[in-house]
């Protein structure tokens, strides 16, 4: 086996232990702006220090990764694309490179494609370029595949989510991260359409029990796990919430049992 392929597999096996993963997404300072943060979550070093011992991956932008790298106790997934919420155009630009990811010691990189957006063309070709760099470096590439655009009426419908996830597979993503479709049955169709490890995005803050219900259902549907942000670091007990999610995803605990961690 070529060295790069060996590296890619080794890195992937840490991001998904026995095929499952709980990742923390913390790129919101760029994507949504500081409105998402409270006194805990606005402090990158604290967030990384307190949460990274309990997850298989931390999704960060370059500046935050550089700032908090000495606190990181789990694999870094460096986001190579970004946008702010102040711009009108729904397009992700390249904001970091595979080379920079390697310099920071990343175990994987991630890039967003808004499947269905007007500027989709740019995001697709950008993704393909990154894939070429990743193959050479043995870095897994995570496709953040979100249906969005004038023809996407409901971005959580299984029809468009399965299309976005499948597009990620077709592009050569090692792992696809996409939206939850609302039920185990509907998400099974996504998993069937895109036979790759699929991580589900957490979404806006909701009741702890609802998050754990989703965690249970996505595993039952065949997803690999959850990449969660606001529902952990906006929680009044972020570490407890993360441990509860882990109990469901990794240990197969029921929701009632898992809630005891909070
Ligand atoms: P959450 O768990 O907080 O939803 O984070 C997941 C995530 O995909 C982040 O990685 C990203 O910043 C954000 O959601 C994107 O949100 P939007 O769908 O509004 O662009």
pLDDT by residue (tens digit) across 198-229?
999 999 999 999 999 999 999 999 999 999 99
pLDDT tens for 57-99 read: 999 999 999 999 999 999 999 999 999 999 877 899 999 999 9
Percent pLDDT > 70 in the chain is: 100
Residue listed under structure tokens 């895109």: 194
Q: What is each CA distance from 199 to 196, 218, 254, in whole angstroms?
A: 10, 9, 20
Residue 260 annotated among the catalytic residues of the structure: no
> Cα(208) to centroid of ligand 1, in Å?
17
Q: Which residues fall within 8 angstroms of residue 88, CB to CB, at 6 or more apart?
A: none
Q: Which residues fall within 8 angstroms of residue 82, CB to CB, at 6 or more apart?
A: 27, 30, 31, 61, 92, 93, 95, 112
Candidate list 73, 79, 122, 177, residue with the active-site label: 177
Residue 175 pLDDT > 90:
yes
The alpha-carbon radius of gyration of the chain (Å, integer) is 17
- CA 204/CA 195 separation, integer angstroms: 27
* Mean pLDDT, rounded, of the chain: 97
Atom 6 of ligand 1, nearest CA residue: 201
For residue 1, what pLDDT band results from cuts at 50, 70 and 90?
low
For residue 110, what pLDDT band results from cuts at 50, 70 and 90?
very high
pTM of the model: 0.97
């Amino acid at each position: 086996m070529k060295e790069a392929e060996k590296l890619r597999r080794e890195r992937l096996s840490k991001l998904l232990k026995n095929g499952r993963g709980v990742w923390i997404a913390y790129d919101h300072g760029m994507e949504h702006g500081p409105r998402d943060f409270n006194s805990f979550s606005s402090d990158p070093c604290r967030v990384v220090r307190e949460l990274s011992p309990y997850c298989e991956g931390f999704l960060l932008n370059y500046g935050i990764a550089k700032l908090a790298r000495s606190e990181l106790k789990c694999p870094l997934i460096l986001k190579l694309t970004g946008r702010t919420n102040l711009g009108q155009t729904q397009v992700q630009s390249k904001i970091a490179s595979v080379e920079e990811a390697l310099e920071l010691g990343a175990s994987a990189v991630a890039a967003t494609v808004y499947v269905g957006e007007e500027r989709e063309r740019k995001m697709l070709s950008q993704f393909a370029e990154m894939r070429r760099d990743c193959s050479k470096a043995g870095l897994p590439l995570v496709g953040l595949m979100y249906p969005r655009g004038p023809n996407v009426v409901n971005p959580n419908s299984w029809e468009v989510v399965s299309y976005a996830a499948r597009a990620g597979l077709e592009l050569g993503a090692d792992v696809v991260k996409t939206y939850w479709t609302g039920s185990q049955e509907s998400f099974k169709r996504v998993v069937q359409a895109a036979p790759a490890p699929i991580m589900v995005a957490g979404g806006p803050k909701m009741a702890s029990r609802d998050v754990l219900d989703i965690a249970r259902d996505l595993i039952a549907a065949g997803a690999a796990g959850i990449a969660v942000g606001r529902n952990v670091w906006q929680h009044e007990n972020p570490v407890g919430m993360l441990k509860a999610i882990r109990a469901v995803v990794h240990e197969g605990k029921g929701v009632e049992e898992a809630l005891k961690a909070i």
